[in-house]
Amino acid sequence: MHVELKDITKTFGTLRANDSLTLSFAEGRIYALLGENGAGKSTLMKILSGYQPPDSGTIFIDGRAVTFQTPADALQCGIGMLHQDPLDVPNLTVLDNFMLGRREGLLPKRKAARQALTAHATRLGFEIDPFRYVDSLTIGERQQLEIVRLLSLGARLLILDEPTTGISAEQKHMLFSALKRLAAEEGMTVILVSHKLEDVAALCQEVYVLRGGKLVGHRHMPTPIDELVTLMFGQSLPRPTRGAHNLGAEILRAESVSLTARRLTVRDLSLSVRSGEVIGLAGLDGSGQSDFLRACAGLQPLNGGRILIAGVPIHGKGYAELLRMGVAYAPSGRLEEGLVDGLTLSEHFALTTNNGLWINWRAANALAARQIARYNIRGAPHSPIQTLSGGNQQRTLIALLPENLRLLLLEDPTRGLDVESTAWVWQQLLARRDQGAAILFTSPDLDEIVTYSDRVLVFCEGRATLVEDLDDSARNPAERLGELIGGKRT
């Protein structure tokens, strides 16, 4: 099956996510769609797989123009998409998920479905127990189930969106060899959407590179990594070096902490953080890194062990008390947890200066105006917070943090921000660090963790492993962390 995208354009408001893109995918070949966050990869693939219609442009399958109303339409034409977070129903069994959406009569043919499931899985070298509940599977196993399901429904082109985030090295190897076999032996076309160059080099034959919604390159592999990086970012980025900065006294100490995360219990976590340090907390979503942050802010109880801030145990202290001790916590849900939907900027600043019964509106407005100028927030003191863009909301959140903090606890501080806002946020955070604050942050983006952390605490299967020598090792640090996150012991 030969698939062609011609002049695809998609805009969201003023943002041109896809700007007249023309790409072609031949049968039996493995492609990479490369680009940094926000380059337009996901938008393009959602268009190809029927989730969104393009504003203009056409999709051709074997020379015939097609339009998709729904992802089911796309799958009928042989185009299947594997989402980064597999789009399945966790509260159902593997077999139920496999059968869901198959077109057959009223009564399910369970036995036939089970046989088809096993047959397809065996062919790809996967082992899937049909009767397990999906919420007990790893991300890697859920991906395998989705691939098997898409194949059984006749997919001829598979789109994989960042499939190697959150799966073990072994699962990645299995996935890649299955994809290679599918392409070589059955003429399957594969598109890997990724910003991980190692994955692209290991799997793909051709590469399309997007930047700012435009197609900026088409290369056949092998292509030197540097060249791809140049295409992705405009110029070859040197790995940012961290200037030496002075570490001060110990500010945070965790002793044999044990706490309950969403699905698992983290045990025996010990950590000592000195002022001026940045610690990245890495791990699959829900592995306990966010829970540890909340525990340090006094927002989540410990099962065992203790946490000390500047030598004082925080047990029994509320967040308000910790805030007075110089600890601040910023959750990732900006509008859900960090800011108050419906209040204006002035009202937010008035909330943080809580002295007396009456609000001094003049002072609050003046403070808001001052902070707006200082933090370059695009908004006015009377703007309701929800009318600001994500980047400006994040700026506000940082502007609201009190001065003279000793410990910043940040959950995914750059979630959903574009490159410019991300850089700005970190510039502010590092300025706080240089003033002597210690920073603990979580991020699903390993590159962000590698770039800004002095040390990294990796959460995996209830254990927390401290990686101290990020730069010393000859190996790519992000890849090394990825393996640790996926459960590979080093």
Partner 1 sequence: MDEALVRTLADIVKVGAPIVLAAIGETITERGGVINLSLDGSLVLSALVAFVIGTGTGSVILGTLAGISVGLVIALIVAVCSIELKLSQVAVGFVLTLLCRDLALFLGIPYRNAQVFPATFLPIPVLKDIPTIGPIFFNQDLFTYLSFIAIGAAWWWLFRTKAGLTLRAIGERPQAAFARGVNVNAMRYLYTAVGGGLVGLGGAAYTLGVLPTWSDTGIAGNGWIALAIVIFGGWYPLRVAFGVYLVAGLRTVVTNVQAQVPPQVVELLNALPWLLMLFTLFLVSGPYLDQLLRILPPRLHPPIRTILRARPPSALGTIFEQEGRH
Residue in 459, 470, 482, 484 with CA at minimum distance from that of residue 197? 482
Rounded least distance, CB 70 to partner 1, Å = 7
Rounded least distance, CB 123 to partner 1, Å = 22
Instruction: Give the residue with the Cβ less far from partner 1, 89 or 423.
Output: 89
Instruction: Give the residue with the Cβ less far from partner 1, 87 or 466.
Output: 87
Rounded least distance, CB 146 to partner 1, Å = 10
Rounded least distance, CB 463 to partner 1, Å = 22
Instruction: Give the residue with the Cβ less far from partner 1, 91 or 376.
Output: 91
Rounded least distance, CB 88 to partner 1, Å = 5
Residue position matching structure tokens 């082109």: 157
- Whether the CA torsion 471, 476, 477, 481 is positive or negative: it is negative
Rounded least distance, CB 12 to partner 1, Å = 8
Instruction: Give the residue with the Cβ less far from partner 1, 100 or 249.
Output: 100
Instruction: Give the residue with the Cβ less far from partner 1, 12 or 361.
Output: 12
Instruction: Give the residue with the Cβ less far from partner 1, 70 or 236.
Output: 70
Residues lying near partner 1 in the complex (CB under 8 A): 46, 51-53, 70-72, 75, 81, 87-92, 96, 99-108
Rounded least distance, CB 8 to partner 1, Å = 13
Instruction: Give the residue with the Cβ less far from partner 1, 341 or 471.
Output: 341
